[in-house]
Amino acid sequence: MLGAATAVLAVPLPLRAALPPPKATFGEDDFAVLDALKRVLYGPGADALDLRTPLAETLGFMDESQQSLLSSLPGTFDLLSRALVPTFRPFVELDEAAQAAALDDWLQSPLAFRRQVGQALRQLVLAHCYTNPAVFPSIAYGGPWLGRYLLPVHDLRFGEPE
């Protein structure tokens, strides 16, 4: 999550000056962007994944300066997408194909700050996927190993020849 929090700092100063001021929590607009991103990243099963509670908990573990950077990331992405992709509309108003193309444009950009912001948002959304069984099929994850396979347990014997 620290990579996500510092991605905003990678945005060049002239662009950062045009961004809204940082805040300590995710707002409804931020969650709308994150919900759209989770649908792009997960596909089927995305609606079963609630990011609000885990992201609020994640913010609670960070200090105030990191909280404001992390919580401003979705808004930064949305605002800069309108100018740099260019979509000229809020990310959440795009259809799924356009959202996927916009995110891919960020992830494949020749500009390092755009790749950092795109990867940070991707990590922010994907960080909570392995805790929700509803999305396991859509990300081809079989679930935790513990309890899924029976593994033989061998007694430890020290000092015996092999």
* Domain parsing of the chain, residue ranges: 2-139
Identify whether the C-beta of residue 96 lies closer than 8 Å to the C-beta of residue 40: yes
State which residues of the chain have pLDDT below 50: none
Report how far Cα 38 is from the mean position of its chain's Cα atoms: 8
Instruction: Please tell me the predicted confidence (pLDDT) of residue 36.
Output: 92
* pLDDT given at position 64: 78
Does this model's pTM top 0.75? My answer is: no
Cβ–Cβ under 8 Å, residues 40 and 103: yes
